[in-house]
Homo-oligomer: A and B are copies of this chain.
């Protein structure tokens, strides 16, 4: 069970978009080039962000993506779910229904304890991601990334932001 690599891509892209000046857009092409990713496939991840309403888009030259809300209001969970989907990581195939001792008319209405426990763990994972804002990430990165690299990356992006 491994998350799609698109999750990593989307998070990185959002971190970049968070540094974009108001009203400007950054294209898929620029984001793909900056991260060394296949443009067409990265596009699918960005479309996921768009469909989830996390980013705004603009067409034509100088078009691209920008965040739909401030980084402080955008959580990791939203980004992860936009790309990875909202389905729980544990799915019940209801194998208890195959119990040979089970009467024909027997019908369990609610999910069994196994599923509930696994779903609680799933929710703990989501709660952790829900508690981290995109602005938190930017704050950490701004402290950890080497200043000259931080600056040159910012300028690289600005040159290409429409």
A residues contacting B by CB (< 8 A) are 1-5, 7-9, 11-12, 15, 33-37, 76, 84, 87, 89-93, 95-103, 106, 112-114, 117-118, 120-122, 124-129, 132, 136-137, 140-141, 144, 146, 149, 152-153, 156
Contact = CB atoms under 8 A, between A and B. Distances in A.
Given A3-B1, A35-B95, A137 B125 contact: no
Contacts of A5: 91, 93
Nearest to A33: B100
A8 to B, nearest CB: 6
Q: Lowest 6 CB-CB distances: which A-B pairs, in order? A: A36-B98, A121-B128, A125-B125, A101-B152, A113-B140, A124-B128
Given A149-B106, A152-B101, A153-B99, A1 B114 contact: no
Contact of A124 (B1, B11, B125): B125
Given A140-B113, A141-B112, A144-B113, A1 B89 contact: yes
B8 A92 contact: yes
Contacts of A95: 8-9, 12, 35-37
Contacts of A149: 99, 101-103, 106
A97 B89 CA distance: 30
Contacts of A101: 149, 152-153, 156
B146 A90 contact: no
